[in-house]
């Protein structure tokens, strides 16, 4: 791992400075007399992205009388990871992501993770369908469009793996209808950009799921905000940075926020706090000092895309085509050539190209990583750096890439690409989580992780993909673990009205799965 500015010695000095400067504030409990002047609310949401807004809509649907305030340090909603160009827009249902289906030593394909993600996305589809049907969201084409999900590989070994993967997945009802082909003519019909100009002697294979989707999570967040803004007991405050958190004697939380424009600070007392600030959630979790925050560290990964809006190109491609990850690459860096539909305009995107930065947010500070170091996470972070040399080697290679290198990578998926058709776009930041799993050792965790305080009064959401696609499932977990005591008795029945498969394992119920998918496809306009 590379840390700028003089290495780990500099970082450790920075940590000591941060800890020293904050000790008099973060260890202080706000007295009752001071809090009497503070606004008291039921729920404080930190971050105005897809996660916080999903939770807000769920809670207000279940119990409208709860008071919710959302705080965001930027000037508007969905300006970090949820923004349309800061993520790939894949409705992650584990159809095409090859890293979700690993091959064991016995040669069998493990579907455990794929089926979990697949079922979680079904929850999202049901909740979105409920909101469209009830009129909370005007039209589904504001945020979702039908786009086939495909996996594409080259070479004999990868071809054999994909064939075995298809055989295993197509036997399960969750992947009913998955197609497989090694025929170049068939693939040229499915994905002409990928096949035209390719060496006919090259072994190729692809799978296709027609029920895939492209999702604009920024537009969905905006739709949520529009709906929430009409409700009593909800407000959003922008340009508000959470500076400090203190747990009160009564179990509630005191939050100190700074107005980014005026510089003034104010306090809020909340019964429950949700830290949904993307990569910034780790730093806020550390400020809370809850025991569950100990041992967590963050490994930030930046990203870039190449994108094209030339109608002659975009009209020849209608799929999200995922390939095999490079050796050492994090899952979020799997190369893919995607159809995107953003604000009514069709694009083709390729990437991502990964990189390393010490920022935890796209609009964050270069000091985010060093300032997050603690005695409890420093050694685990070093251990992960020691154990993941291929990842570090991969990131160094990505950082040193030129535009010519990026275009060469694109050419592997689009042999006849024209340089002038493509522009470079900076994607959002992702913070991969490192967690101490035993003394003097850490584990690098890909995916999304939810951290709950033992008393259920705080939740932090850490990690990366497939987060946005599984936001509803994650927020249902938050309801069950932390917010149930704030909701009226009978809320699970209300939730089942919104999400009919709540409490049902769709991976075990083929008939229910088919019915749910048919109904949600009709409402969301995903029938093609």
Q: What is the pLDDT of residues 106-157, one digit of tens each?
A: 999 999 999 999 999 999 999 999 999 999 999 999 999 999 999 999 999 9
pLDDT, position 186: 98
| Structural domains in the chain (count) | 1
Say what percent of the chain tops pLDDT 70.
89
E strand or H helix at 351? strand 345-356
Instruction: Give 295-321 pLDDT, tens digit per residue.
Output: 888 888 888 899 999 999 999 999 999
Both tokens of 396, joined, read 């160094």
CA angle (88, 504, 180) in 5-degree steps: 50
Judge contact between 358 and 3, C-beta under 8 A. Answer: yes
Which residue bears the tokens 């190209």? 353
pLDDT, position 15: 40
Lowest mean pLDDT among 11-15, 283-287, 461-465, 522-526: 11-15
Torsion of CA 417, 422, 425, 431, to 10 degrees: 0
Domain limits for position 303: 38-524
For every residue of 420-455, DSSP letters joined together read GG-EEEE---EEEEEEEEETTEEEEE-SEEEEE-TT
Question: Can the peptide bond before residue 466 be classed as cis, meaning omega within 30 degrees of 0?
Answer: yes
Taking the C-alpha atoms of residue 57 and residue 303, their distance in angstroms, rounded to an integer, is 30
Residues 6+ apart with CB under 8 A from 4: 358, 366
SS3 394: helix
User: Could you give phi then psi for residue 392, rounded to 5 degrees?
Assistant: -65, -40
Instruction: Specify if 18 maps to a domain.
Output: no
Strands (E), 357-493: 423-426, 430-438, 441-445, 448-452, 458-463
Instruction: Specify if 393 maps to a domain.
Output: yes
Judge contact between 254 and 86, C-beta under 8 A. Answer: no
Q: How many CA atoms lie within 13 A of 125 on its CB side?
A: 29
Residue 26 clears pLDDT 50, i.e. is over it: no
DSSP state of 90: B
CATH label of the domain that carries residue 426 = 3.50.50.60
Instruction: Specify if 63 maps to a domain.
Output: yes
Instruction: Specify if 30 maps to a domain.
Output: no
Residue 259 clears pLDDT 60, i.e. is over it: yes
Q: Which sign does the torsion angle of CA 189, 195, 197, 201 carry?
A: negative
Number of neighbouring beta carbons within 10 Å of residue 320: 27
Instruction: Specify if 12 maps to a domain.
Output: no
pLDDT, position 263: 96
Buried b (16+ CB within 10 A) or exposed e, 392-409: bebbeebeeeeeeebbee
pLDDT, position 339: 98
Instruction: Specify if 8 maps to a domain.
Output: no
DSSP state of 348: E
Judge contact between 120 and 450, C-beta under 8 A. Answer: no
* CA-wise closest residue to 328 among 374, 391, 278: 391
Q: Which phi-psi region, left, alpha or beta, contains residue 451 (left: φ > 0; alpha: ψ -120 to 50)?
A: beta
Judge contact between 267 and 35, C-beta under 8 A. Answer: yes
Instruction: Give 203-226 pLDDT, tens digit per residue.
Output: 999 999 999 999 999 999 999 999
Residue 452 clears pLDDT 90, i.e. is over it: yes
Taking the C-alpha atoms of residue 361 and residue 80, their distance in angstroms, rounded to an integer, is 7
Both tokens of 138, joined, read 């005007």
Q: Which sign does the torsion angle of CA 248, 252, 258, 264 carry?
A: negative
Both tokens of 175, joined, read 């992947």
Instruction: Specify if 3 maps to a domain.
Output: no
Mean pLDDT of 345-370: 90
Judge contact between 233 and 64, C-beta under 8 A. Answer: yes
Pick 6 or 207 by higher pLDDT. Answer: 207
Instruction: Give 160-205 pLDDT, tens digit per residue.
Output: 999 999 999 999 999 999 999 999 999 999 999 999 999 999 999 9
Which long-range contacts link 384-391 to residues 24+ away (Cβ below 8 Å)? 384/1, 384/297, 384/299, 384/434, 384/442, 384/443, 384/444, 385/1, 387/444, 388/328, 388/444, 389/328, 390/327, 390/328, 391/328, 391/329, 391/330, 391/444
């Amino acid at each position: 791992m590379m840390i700028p500015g003089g290495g780990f010695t500099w970082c450790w000095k920075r940590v000591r400075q941060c800890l020293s400067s904050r000790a008099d504030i973060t260890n202080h409990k706000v007295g009752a007399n001071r809090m009497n002047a503070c606004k008291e609310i039921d729920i404080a949401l930190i971050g105005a992205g897809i996660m916080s807004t999903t939770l807000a809509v769920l809670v207000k649907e279940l119990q409208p009388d709860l008071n919710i305030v959302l705080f965001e340090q930027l000037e508007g909603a969905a300006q970090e990871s949820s923004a349309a160009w800061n993520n790939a827009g894949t409705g992650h249902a584990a159809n095409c992501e090859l890293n979700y289906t690993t091959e064991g030593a016995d040669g069998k394909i493990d579907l455990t993770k794929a089926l979990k993600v697949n079922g979680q996305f079904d929850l999202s589809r049901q909740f979105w369908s409920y909101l469209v049907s009830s009129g909370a969201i005007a039209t589904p084409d504001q945020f979702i469009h039908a786009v086939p999900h495909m996996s594409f590989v080259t070479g004999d070994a990868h071809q054999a793996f994909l064939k075995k993967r298809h055989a295993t997945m197509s036997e399960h009802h969750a992947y009913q209808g998955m197609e497989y082909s090694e025929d170049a003519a068939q693939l040229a019909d499915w994905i002409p950009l990928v096949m035209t100009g390719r060496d006919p002697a090259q072994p190729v294979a692809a799978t296709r799921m027609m029920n895939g989707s492209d999702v604009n999570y920024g537009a969905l967040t905006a739709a949520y905000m529009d709906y929430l803004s009409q409700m009593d007991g909800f407000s959003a405050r922008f340009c508000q940075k959470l500076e400090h958190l203190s747990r009160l004697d009564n179990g509630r939380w005191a939050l100190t926020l700074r107005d980014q424009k005026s510089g003034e600070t104010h306090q809020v007392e909340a019964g429950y706090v949700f830290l949904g600030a993307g990569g910034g959630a780790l730093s806020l979790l550390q400020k809370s000092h809850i025991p569950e925050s100990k041992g967590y560290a963050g490994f930030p990964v930046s990203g870039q895309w190449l994108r094209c809006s030339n109608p002659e190109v975009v009209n020849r491609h209608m799929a999200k085509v995922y390939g095999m990850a490079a050796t050492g690459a994090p899952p979020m860096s799997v190369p893919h050539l995607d159809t995107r539909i953003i604000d009514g305009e069709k694009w083709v995107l390729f990437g991502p190209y990964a990189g390393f930065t010490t920022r935890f947010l796209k609009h964050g500070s270069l000091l985010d990583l060093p300032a997050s170091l603690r005695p409890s996470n420093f050694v685990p972070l070093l251990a992960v750096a020691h154990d993941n040399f291929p990842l570090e080697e991969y990131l160094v290679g990505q950082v040193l890439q030129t535009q010519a290198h990026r275009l060469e990578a694109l050419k592997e998926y689009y042999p006849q690409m024209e340089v002038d058709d493509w522009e470079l776009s900076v994607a959002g930041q992702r913070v991969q989580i490192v967690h101490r799993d035993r003394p003097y050792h850490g584990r690098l965790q890909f995916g999304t992780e939810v951290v709950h305080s033992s008393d259920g009064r705080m939740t932090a959401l850490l990690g990366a993909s497939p987060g946005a696609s599984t936001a509803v499932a994650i927020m249902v977990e938050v309801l069950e673990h932390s917010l149930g005591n704030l909701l009226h008795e009978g809320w699970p029945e209300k939730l089942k009205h919104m999400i009919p498969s709540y409490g049902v394992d769709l991976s075990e119920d083929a008939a229910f799965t088919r019915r749910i998918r048919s109904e949600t496809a009709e409402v969301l306009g995903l029938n093609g």
